[in-house]
């Protein structure tokens, strides 16, 4: 390939595509290079189990996809994307009886009403954030900077910096609200006793009420397809099946943006980057991995509490203490017998995902980084715990260990889907301490992956901010 581009983006995950689109919108000539044969990174779909059953190998439910300031400004509907809102964003059964599930609805008042003695406390915590969700997300989804909404940001920050367990126990009196918040905060993939774990619970809670937890009709690949369609309409070029090994194999460009992690960047750039910066990247910390299960069923999951069938996502872990113990064990290098399981049941709301009368299940749990351990039985046991008879409905299964997830998507180092720990030490300094975290000491090289702020999730904001930094240098 001999053509010279203004910018070349290596990696076609949501952040890579966001960077490419931002640059193309600014009038740059842009090439996207994807190492795999299929575009999308963690945003793909495939028939993993049986013909006609459409599964999402990685990301599946996309509150940030709908709430992201970048994605909200794109005409993705023109390119085939249709969001589906389940009847309720989330259910969290406790395992204490047939009708014990906490149901999170789009309505803040309806959700609070299900929390009994903690109704007022939940409303007090979430209402100011939900009322101003768009402005708050604009401040949160980027590098550390002066917020546009300082009072709201300060209110969020004063609570977000706390450990999730401390916040839940001090604010809520009863187990229902405590367990609900623990499940939300466990998306942090950190021990819930760690500072900043509460931030994930707050953010996912405000998204549930502000925009919902939607799924894309037809699978997550549809989000990628819409992004690619829009990018190509701007004149962008794209090539697949090209696993970049070194800078010397790339066409000439003014800027190179890498949708990869620090470890991979070091491998590709070699001695192009200064030794001091290389040392910073080599110290970048990766977090626990995940074990993934996709199932084909002959019918819907037979939940003990039928309210669970109203939710697109179900958190399975029981009480706050149970969830916290499981997440703590993972950080000790252990595999909990009762892991916290995140489960999505897209086919209840999207008939295109499975043949008539059949259903799909998407589920995963956290495991130590690089774990080869098969957690299928433990995940299915957790589902069976809240849905007796569930196993009798399984037609086929497809599993990936943390090791296999990295083989599927090289950005998942050791199965880490967040591309690095997101704790106080590494949230705003990812991947290294620099005034603009997307830049490197080389004026042509930029990092645009989830290893930069604001971190993991399908929102495209890492790519957007990296592209803005590249535009300032290129111009």
The mean pLDDT of the chain is 95
Going by pLDDT thresholds of 50, 70 and 90, the confidence category of residue 3 is confident
Give yes or no for residue 280 having a pLDDT over 70.
yes
Going by pLDDT thresholds of 50, 70 and 90, the confidence category of residue 462 is very high
Position 98 scores a pLDDT of 66
Position 428 scores a pLDDT of 83
CATH topology of domain 5-37+240-285+420-474: FAD/NAD(P)-binding domain (3.50.50)
Mean pLDDT of 157-180: 95
Q: What is the pLDDT of residues 333-370, one digit of tens each?
A: 999 999 999 999 999 999 999 999 999 999 999 999 99
Residue range 83-215+288-408 forms a domain whose CATH class is alpha beta
Report the residue count for the chain: 475
Position 319 scores a pLDDT of 95
Question: Can you give the residue ranges of every domain in the chain?
Answer: 5-37+240-285+420-474, 83-215+288-408
User: Of 229, 214, 236, which Cα lies nearest the Cα of 33?
Assistant: 236
Give yes or no for residue 475 having a pLDDT over 90.
no
Mean pLDDT of 244-253: 94
Q: What is the pLDDT of residues 372-402, one digit of tens each?
A: 999 999 999 999 999 999 999 999 999 999 9
Position 97 scores a pLDDT of 65
Position 142 scores a pLDDT of 83
Order of strands, edge to edge, in the sheet holding 445-447?
237-239, 30-33, 5-10, 253-258, 445-447
Q: What is the pLDDT of residues 188-211, one digit of tens each?
A: 999 999 999 999 999 999 999 999
Percent of the chain whose predicted confidence (pLDDT) is above 90: 89
Position 321 scores a pLDDT of 96
Mean pLDDT of 208-226: 97
| Equal fold, 5-37+240-285+420-474 vs 83-215+288-408 | no
Q: Out of 101-110, 151-160, 311-320, which region has the weakest mean confidence (pLDDT)?
A: 151-160
Please write down the long-range contacts of 140-143, taking CB distance under 8 Å and 24 or more positions apart.
140/203, 140/454, 141/64, 141/68, 141/69, 141/454, 141/459, 141/461, 142/453, 142/454, 142/461, 142/465, 143/428, 143/436, 143/437, 143/438, 143/452, 143/453, 143/454, 143/465
Position 32 scores a pLDDT of 98
Question: How would you label 414-424 residue by residue, b for 16+ Cβ within 10 Å and e otherwise?
Answer: bbbbbbbbbbe
Position 2 scores a pLDDT of 63
Q: Out of 139-148, 152-161, 395-404, 455-464, which region has the weakest mean confidence (pLDDT)?
A: 139-148
Going by pLDDT thresholds of 50, 70 and 90, the confidence category of residue 99 is confident
Q: Between β-strands 215-216 and 102-104, what pairing exists: parallel, antiparallel or unpaired?
A: unpaired
Q: What is the pTM assigned to this prediction?
A: 0.94
Mean pLDDT of 262-287: 95
Q: Between β-strands 289-297 and 394-400, what pairing exists: parallel, antiparallel or unpaired?
A: antiparallel
Residue 39 contacts residue 224 (beta carbons within 8 Å): yes
Return d(Cα 118, Cα 386) in angstroms, integer: 24
């Amino acid at each position: 390939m001999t053509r010279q581009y203004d910018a070349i983006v290596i990696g076609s995950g949501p952040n890579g595509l966001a960077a490419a689109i931002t640059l193309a919108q600014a009038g740059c000539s842009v090439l996207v290079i994807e190492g795999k044969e299929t575009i999308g990174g963690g945003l793909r779909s495939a028939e993993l189990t049986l013909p006609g059953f459409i599964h999402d190998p990685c990301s599946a439910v996309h509150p940030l996809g709908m709430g992201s300031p970048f994605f909200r400004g794109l005409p993705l509907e023109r390119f085939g994307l249709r969001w589906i809102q389940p009847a309720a964003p989330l259910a969290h059964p406790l395992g204490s009886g047939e009708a014990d599930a906490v149901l999170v609805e789009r309505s803040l008042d309806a959700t609070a009403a299900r929390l009994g003695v903690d109704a007022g406390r939940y409303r007090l915590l979430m209402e100011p954030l939900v009322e101003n969700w768009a402005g708050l997300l604009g401040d949160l989804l980027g590098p550390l900077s002066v917020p546009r909404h300082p009072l709201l940001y300060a209110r969020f920050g004063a609570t977000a910096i706390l450990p999730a367990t401390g916040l839940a126990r001090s604010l809520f009196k009863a187990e229902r609200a405590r367990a609900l918040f623990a499940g939300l905060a466990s998306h942090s993939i950190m021990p819930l006793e760690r500072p900043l774990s509460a931030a994930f619970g707050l953010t996912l809670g405000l998204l549930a009420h502000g925009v919902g937890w939607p799924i894309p009709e037809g699978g997550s690949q549809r989000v990628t397809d819409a992004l690619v369609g829009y990018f190509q309409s701007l004149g962008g070029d794209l090539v697949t099946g090209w696993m970049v090994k070194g800078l010397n194999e790339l066409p000439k460009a003014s800027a190179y943006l890498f949708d990869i992690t620090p470890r991979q960047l070091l491998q590709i750039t070699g001695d192009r980057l200064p030794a001091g910066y290389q040392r910073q990247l080599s110290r970048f910390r990766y977090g626990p991995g995940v074990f993934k299960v996709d199932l084909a069923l002959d019918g819907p999951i037979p939940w003990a509490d039928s309210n669970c069938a109203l939710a697109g996502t179900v958190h399975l872990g029981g009480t706050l203490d149970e969830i916290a113990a499981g997440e703590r064990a993972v950080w000790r290098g252990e595999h909990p017998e009762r892991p916290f399981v995140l489960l999505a049941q897209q086919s209840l709301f999207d008939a295109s995902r499975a043949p008539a009368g059949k259903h799909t299940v998407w589920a995963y749990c956290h495991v130590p980084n690089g774990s080869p351990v098969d957690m299928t039985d433990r995940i299915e046991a957790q589902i069976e715990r809240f849905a007796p008879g569930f196993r009798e409905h399984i037609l086929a299964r497809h599993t990936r260990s943390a090791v296999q997830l990295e083989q599927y998507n090289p950005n998942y180092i050791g199965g880490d889907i967040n591309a690095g720990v997101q704790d106080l030490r590494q949230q705003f300094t990812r991947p290294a301490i620099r005034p603009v975290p997307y830049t490197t000491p080389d004026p042509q090289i930029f990092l645009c992956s989830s290893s930069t702020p604001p971190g993991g999730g399908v929102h495209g904001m890492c790519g957007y901010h990296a592209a803005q930094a590249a535009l300032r240098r290129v111009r």
